[in-house]
Amino acid sequence: MSGRWYRSVLVRFYLVGGASALAYVVLFVLLRFVMPSQLANVLALLISAIANTAVNRRFTFGVRGTDDVMRHYLQGLAVFALGLAVTGGALWLLHIWISDPSRVQEVSVLLAANLVATVVRFVGLRRVFAPT
């Protein structure tokens, strides 16, 4: 992999990631009105992760067609599980520390946790979609 390819992929990955993070936060806040924080987190993260994988597959890593699509999504879900562990753990710790945190506190903790999860996601997805 050339440095130029890597930088180009990184820029596209962070553009997609920024849009996904925004979608995730909006979904979390909306879902949080009707369900507990952990369930809202799981659903918001799952929906945004599926969309994120599809967009990264095509836009970021240039993968076209249906070859290996099932493998890509299964590996994307494995990367999602890592992100869920980070965000779910962060929410769990917040609720231990503060018994009834505000939505702002929940979203702030989730944004910080998502920064960590994004690094993990990039490393994981780069291995999934990188040219062989």
- Which has the closest alpha carbon to 57: 132, 130, 129? 129
- Burial class (CB within 10 angstroms; exposed 0-12, middle 13-18, buried 19+) of 97: exposed
Question: What is the tens place of the pLDDT at every residue in 19-40?
Answer: 988 999 999 999 999 999 999 9
d(CA 83, CA 20): 13
The pLDDT value given to residue 37:
96
In the chain, where are the structural domains located? 3-129
Question: What is the tens place of the pLDDT at every residue in 37-96?
Answer: 999 999 999 999 889 888 888 888 888 888 888 887 887 788 788 889 999 999 999 999
d(CA 81, CA 46): 9
The whole-model pTM stands at: 0.80
- Which has the closest alpha carbon to 124: 46, 72, 59? 72
Residue 128 has pLDDT above 90, yes or no: no
The pLDDT value given to residue 23:
94
Q: Are 64 and 117 in contact (CB under 8 A)?
A: no
The pLDDT value given to residue 5:
73
d(CA 60, CA 73): 15
